[in-house]
Amino acid sequence: MHARATAPPHVVAGFTVPRVMFQVLAALVPVAAMQVYLHGPGLLWLVATGSVTALACEALALWLRRRPSLDFLRDGSVLVTAALLALAVPPTLPWWLMAFGTAVAVLVAKHAYGGLGQNPFNPAMVGYAVLLVSFPLEMTRWPAAGAGWDAVTGATALDALRTGLRQSYTMEEILTGPAFGALGGAGGEWVNIAALAGGLYLLARRIVRWHIPLAMLAGLAIPAAVAHALDPGAHAGATFHLATGATMLGAFFIATDPVSAATSDRGRLVFGAGVGLTTWIIRSWGGFPDGVAFAVLLMNLAVPLIDRYTVPRIYGHPGA
Amino acid sequence: MNRPALRGGLRLESHKLRPLQRPVLSVPSPRTAVLALDQGSGADAAPVVGPGQAVRVGSLIAAQRGAAAGLHSPVSGTVRCIASRPTVRGIGPCIVIDSDGRDEREPTSVPLDWRSLSGDALLERLAAAGIAGLGGAAFPTAAKLGLARSAGVNLLLLNGAECEPWICCDDALMREHAADVVLGAQVMLSACGADRGAIAVEDDKPQAVAALAAALAAAADVRLSVISLPAVFPLGAEGPLVTAVTGREVPHDGLPPQVGVVCQNVGTAASVARLVRDGLPVVSRIVTVTGSGVRNPANVEVRLGTPVAELIAACGGTTGDDRRLIAGGSLTGRALDDDAAPVTKGLNCVLVATPGDLPPRGTEMPCIRCGDCAVVCPAGLLPQQLHRATQSDDVEGLSHFGLGACIECGCCDYVCPSAIALTARFRVARERLRLHEAERERATQAKSRYERHRRRLDEQAEAERRAFDEARRRARGDGSAGH
């Protein structure tokens, strides 16, 4: 009797990268549905445009890099990139801008660095950042909250807050404006709740682990709560920050991208807290509508350093 | 014990039920016994017999050498040759013995009055009987116990955890020969000087625990106890086991005796019992023959040197053609490419696997740094970072991330969603790291030799200069005095 010689272990769990990616896509369904409900079907066109562009760019890059394309094309990672970008941009964005942003994400942020597993920056956030600095007008025109499917644009809650504070309105006056809801931004709070639901699903399925989301939410909520307690007139509270903008999407779907995040448990706590704190700083004093994308990219930069100083204690070695 | 039993680890389907439904089966002694000089420790014993020589059951055929324990003939008959044959560790030197079928015992093998023997005398007897780690490592037990004795250990830890899927020979042994395990433990306590002994068994083996409890009650030895552990792989590995039981970690550059513990497999204890009771050296062991590819999975009591094919035949043969043979369990076992390979002291399981038992791995994808491997690593390593270091041949990175602590359990491979062969790569990288460190050590030694050489030359020159100066001064002094 003869058999193939293989190295141990001879058995694996069979949980694969494509399965991870498709679980993430499934978890994005609630937040996508909420956006469509609030702002109309624009998102669906963006997802379609993004997905087609992403697959085309992936195929092109794999062909140029002479890589076996089918296994990689099927892994689903570019579809996650496209879906996250589509959810991050305003649903009124022209389709060609979505295609451009996706192409940047896949070709530059991912494949120029070596493809799956090699990118130091979150591809979707690179695409978002490039779009934001290149096309600031289109990227900040969100449909007015409550306008439903008629694409009337208006200020987002974070914009209204920033503008209101600059014009010396009191926090009470600002928060009664049309852009605000019970917790955070009108509509935005529902999107955040939907993203939280998807995120909890990922936690339950152990696709993501709790370190990054919890650290990011704490890193955002704690400084917000402290600042609000010290100066309620100038700073929105923790609840507002948690329920506004891309907070939940960022905490569970964007900052948790394992490739560009820190890798040990402690490192992930540091990374997540850094993303949360940077988000709060950008929202409080920066010039951009939301801070999540830039916070994630900045912390991506810090990952090699974090990884170097957060190696866990190894069995049989003295404690650090 | 409140501390976590194990960092990482996996709760796996055990696949142990089928062979345990039947009592241990005796496989007839082989017509031709093939004794690998390497019985599992990685070292070869030194043959002391030659072709044509008559041997009996229990005759010494190869002497202890390094990590290889002494080896005894499992049959009576004639040595045919010493030649290379397929073994469970690849092609290797073997002593081939043709059995005469009479099973005559070596007359010198008589029971031991172990209670009257000193620790050192016991160690000598264990070494002479070729007692070796039957858990798989086949390391000479006397050497291990002797080291423990000089280190002054207080705990003898008998490993009956048997955490790896499919393998259940220790479970069967504890169920059927619990009294032997207890007797062996008592002998080993005397031999190593520990003051208490614990038999650690995973909690998925209630029958084994019950049998041991009954045997302990019968022996009425207060030094011995049974400890129940959670069924987590790889809790049966030496380091994790010591930590689970004592809460202390074995230092990365040390051995369990440094934390006061010596580990022995329960099968080894039973072989010690057989030695003191019957006077018989290690000539047989229990092997699990299992997998969906074998008709009647069972634990079999079998002579060393019996070809694996005869074990499978004794269990009803295979169920088809597309079968893989694994020597050991599904996580750490070695692929066997020839069923002529004979049973060794280190062979605990023959897994005849169907594709359903061991589904093929998917295509290897790049690492996405998900960190699932770090969650399950019992050594607390970051396999994803080690993997990156192996890819870039970064020797400093390998040691920074602690590759030396890897126990090659395979947990990281098991969970990797990218199907990366991490364990195999780490094994290769460890060898490279070892060579690198040896090279560095050689360089350091050469440097210090050179420096000492330089210093000696300098000192010599200095001494000569001083002697010359002295002579000149004296010459001048003499000269001036002469004026």
pLDDT of the residue at B5: 53
Domains of chain B by residue range? 17-27+109-286, 361-483
Regarding whether A255 and A210 lie in a shared domain, the answer is yes
Regarding whether A95 and A208 lie in a shared domain, the answer is no
Per-residue pLDDT tens digits for B53-78: 999 999 999 999 999 999 999 999 99
Is A85 part of a structural domain of the chain? yes
Give the pairing of strands B224-229 and B196-202: parallel
pLDDT of the residue at A153: 57
A118 touches chain B (CB under 8 A): yes
For residue B89, the chain A residues in CB contact (below 8 A) are none
Judged against a pLDDT cut of 90, whether residue B252 lies above it is answered with no
Please tell me whether the peptide bond between B234 and the residue prior to it is cis, using omega within 30 degrees of 0: yes
Interface contact flag, B380 A313, Cβ < 8 Å: yes
Is A313 part of a structural domain of the chain? no
The alpha-carbon gap from A233 to the nearest alpha carbon of chain B, in Å, equals: 42
Regarding whether A108 and A224 lie in a shared domain, the answer is no
Going A129 to A131 to A136 to A140, the CA torsion angle's sign is negative
Regarding whether A175 and A71 lie in a shared domain, the answer is no
pLDDT of the residue at A17: 86
Average pLDDT, chain B: 92
Is A134 part of a structural domain of the chain? yes
Tell which wins on pLDDT, A74 or B191. Answer: B191
Range of weakest confidence among A167-181, A215-229, B183-197, B293-307: A167-181
Per-residue pLDDT tens digits for B138-160: 999 999 999 999 999 999 999 99
The alpha-carbon gap from A85 to the nearest alpha carbon of chain B, in Å, equals: 19
Paired tokens of A197: 């639901």
pLDDT of the residue at A1: 43
Regarding whether A237 and A268 lie in a shared domain, the answer is yes
Q: B residues 68-107 near A, CB within 8 Å?
A: none
> For residue B478, with 0-12 CB atoms within 10 Å meaning exposed, 13-18 middle and 19 or more buried, which class applies?
exposed
CA A205 to chain centre: 19
Regarding whether A295 and A197 lie in a shared domain, the answer is yes
Phi first, then psi, for residue B327 (nearest 5°) are -90, 105
Is A314 part of a structural domain of the chain? no
Regarding whether A241 and A124 lie in a shared domain, the answer is no
Interface contact flag, A5 B337, Cβ < 8 Å: yes
Q: A residues 174-213 near B, CB within 8 Å?
A: 209
Number of structural domains (chain A) is 2
pLDDT of the residue at B377: 95
| DSSP designation for A110 | I
Regarding whether A218 and A93 lie in a shared domain, the answer is no
Boundary-marking domain end, from A103, A138, A173: A138
Regarding whether A128 and A79 lie in a shared domain, the answer is yes
CATH number among 1.10.3470, 1.10.1060, 1.10.10, 3.30.1330, domain B361-483? 1.10.1060
Is A4 part of a structural domain of the chain? no
> Which residues constitute the domain of residue A123?
41-138
The dihedral region occupied by B111, where left means phi > 0, alpha psi between -120 and 50, and beta the remainder, is: beta
Strands laid side by side in the B77-87 sheet: B32-36, B90-99, B77-87, B54-55
CA B335 to chain centre: 17
Interface contact flag, A7 B335, Cβ < 8 Å: yes
Regarding whether A239 and A166 lie in a shared domain, the answer is yes
- Give B3's pLDDT tier (boundaries 50, 70, 90): very low
Range of weakest confidence among A13-22, B172-181, B436-445: A13-22
Interface contact flag, A11 B368, Cβ < 8 Å: no
Tell which wins on pLDDT, B41 or A142. Answer: B41
What pTM does this model have? 0.86
Boundary-marking domain end, from A138, A170, A189: A138
Regarding whether A167 and A119 lie in a shared domain, the answer is no
Strands laid side by side in the B25-26 sheet: B25-26, B298-303, B284-290, B349-353, B324-327, B334-336
pLDDT of the residue at A70: 76
B365 touches chain A (CB under 8 A): yes
Tell which wins on pLDDT, A320 or B221. Answer: B221
Percent of chain B with pLDDT over 90: 81
The alpha-carbon gap from A312 to the nearest alpha carbon of chain B, in Å, equals: 7
Going A56 to A62 to A63 to A64, the CA torsion angle's sign is positive
Contact between residue B78 and residue B98 where contact means Cβ atoms under 8 Å apart: yes
Ranges in chain A, pLDDT < 50: 1-5, 151, 320
Judged against a pLDDT cut of 70, whether residue B434 lies above it is answered with yes
Tallying the residues shown for chain B, one arrives at: 483
pLDDT of the residue at A170: 74
Q: Between the CA of residue B430 and those of A8, A317, B408, what are the distances in Å?
A: 16, 17, 10
Regarding whether A217 and A85 lie in a shared domain, the answer is no
Closest alpha carbon to B118 in B187, B183, B180? B187
pLDDT of the residue at B2: 39
Is A10 part of a structural domain of the chain? no
Greatest alpha-carbon span in chain A: 85
pLDDT of the residue at A144: 66
pLDDT of the residue at A316: 87
Is A315 part of a structural domain of the chain? no
**Which residues, listed in sequence order, are joined to residue B98 by a DSSP beta bridge?**
B32, B78
Q: Which residues of B140-149 are buried (b: 16+ CB within 10 A; e: fewer)?
A: bbbbbbbebb
Superfamily of domain B17-27+109-286: NADH-ubiquinone oxidoreductase 51kDa subunit (3.40.50.11540)
Cα three-residue angle B370-B375-B381, rounded to 5 degrees: 95
Cα separation, A293 vs A288, in Å, equals 10
Please tell me whether the peptide bond between A94 and the residue prior to it is cis, using omega within 30 degrees of 0: no
Interface size between A and B, measured as CB pairs under 8 A: 159
